[in-house]
Structure 1
Amino acid sequence: MRFAPLLLVALLAAGCAEKPVPPEEPVAEVKAEAPAAVVEETPKFKNSTLKYLAGRNLKPQPTRPLNVRSRCTHKDAIGTQTRLDLLVKEAEVKTFDAQVSMKGYGACRFNLNEFEQVEKLPQALLRHKKQSDCLVRMWEQGPKVTIAFNSCPKSCEGQAFDYLWPIMVEAKSGRCF
């Protein structure tokens, strides 16, 4: 009788233990032959953004050599001044001189003499000669050309690089904003 409570506890513990579940085997999919007249179904999208793009006739931007000429200046509403001299012919950067002054933060300066062109397509890519992580990318986006700066804080005064946005250029007119 002394062992009866121990036996009871052991039986209760054994009853609570989970039985190992064998891994499920994949179920083979049965493909039915499509009827002669197949009706196109609208695909079901998991992502809500893709759902809104489904009915539109969107085409990818063609990959072609970049051609743009711009000599412009621009001042925005918060006082950021941009000065750009740019010439790209058949994806080869011939002239590039950019200065962006941000009110209260300093200025950033970029000159082609400090860079070497390492790619032409799909984007014109310039790499700084002394700072290998500093990159300038140029690409066409519809009627505009974008000039973006990556990891170039040494080309700027103080913390101006933290506030540097890409420069946008209207491809046909050369106007920057």
Structure 2
Amino acid sequence: MSGSVAGLLATCLLTACETPLLPTPPAVVGAPRVSSGPGLPQAAPTPIPQRDIELAGECRRTEEDGFHEEAQMRVAHNAVEVLIWNVQAGRHGTCHFDLREFHQVRQTPHVELQAVDGSACKLMVWQDPRRITLAFAQCESHCTPGAYEHAWPVLFDPESGSCAQIR
């Protein structure tokens, strides 16, 4: 290889190494989470789409492992009017939630209720195309010891108001 071609090639390689990396573009709303490999940051999760929640629901279900839930919930225009939820987490214990122990602090993009006892316990309600979910966070005080780690959200069918199919 001639000296001038080798020099040009070396200059091009050095220039390529000095070119700064461009920042990763911000996540597009609705885009799936993408990772380039282990330990690398992921794009932000897709936000819950805002939906007007209307539900007169009652879900009673017992699973083979002893998990049992009874939930009654009525929501009109994203305002919770009735909520009583009892969870039997198999042999691990129970959790109990009653609307009288909460006040609603958010209506959109999801419904959120905060415990009136000053704890960090909150209940959240959101709707996706297949179901309406009632979930909790930081609510150990509403459960007997050992139950909180084994309790799951309740899923309602938005059409019938009964328990949503989970399979």
Report which of the two structures shows the higher radius of gyration computed on alpha carbons.
1
Equivalenced residues, count: 128
Query: Is contact 2:48-2:109 (8 Å) kept?
Result: no
Counterparts of 1:1-177 in structure 2, within 5 Å, are 26=19, 47=35, 62-176=49-163
CA–CA separation in structure 2 for the residues paired with 1:159 and 1:122: 32
Kindly indicate whether the alpha-carbon contact (under 8 Å) linking 2:75 and 2:82 is maintained by their aligned counterparts in 1: yes
**Given the two structures, how large is their TM-score scaled by the length of structure 1?**
0.65
The answer (yes or no) to whether the contact 2:74–2:82 under 8 Å persists in 1 is: yes
Q: Residue 133 of structure 1 aligns to a residue in which SS?
A: coil
Instruction: Identify the range of structure 1 (165-174 vs 113-122) with the bigger mean alpha-carbon deviation.
Output: 165-174
Q: Aligned letter for 1:119? A: R
Alpha-carbon distance in 2 for matches of 1:170, 1:160 = 25
Listed one character per residue, the Cα deviations across residues 72-104 of structure 1 (whole Å, up to 9, x for unaligned) are 211112111110110000000000000001221
Tell me the distance in 1 between the aligned counterparts of 2:61 and 2:142.
Answer: 20
**Alpha-carbon deviation of 1:114?**
0.2
Task: Deviation per CA, 1:16-75: give whole Å up to 9, x if none.
Answer: xxxxxxxx8657x9xxxxxxxxxxxxxxxx747xxxxxxxxxx98641221111122111
Question: What is the identity, as a one-letter code, of the residue corresponding to 2:147?
Answer: A
For the residues of structure 1 that align with 2:96 and 2:86, how far apart are their CA atoms? Answer: 5
SS in 2 for 1:104: helix
Counterpart amino acid of 1:161?
Answer: Y
Question: Structure 1: where are the runs of 5+ without partners?
Answer: 1-23, 30-45, 49-58
What runs of 5+ residues in structure 2 fail to find an aligned partner? Answer: 1-16, 23-33, 37-45
What percentage of residue pairs aligned between the two structures are identical? 27
- Aligned counterparts of 1:153 and 1:61: Cα–Cα separation in 2: 25
Asked if the contact 1:65/1:120 (under 8 Å) is kept, the reply is no
Q: Report if aligned partners of 2:49, 2:109 keep a CA contact under 8 Å in 1.
A: no
Cα distance in 1 for residues equivalent to 2:129 and 2:88:
27
In the alignment, is the contact (CA less than 8 A) between 1:61 and 1:142 conserved in 2?
no
Corresponding residue SS for 2:65: coil
SS of 2:91's partner is: coil
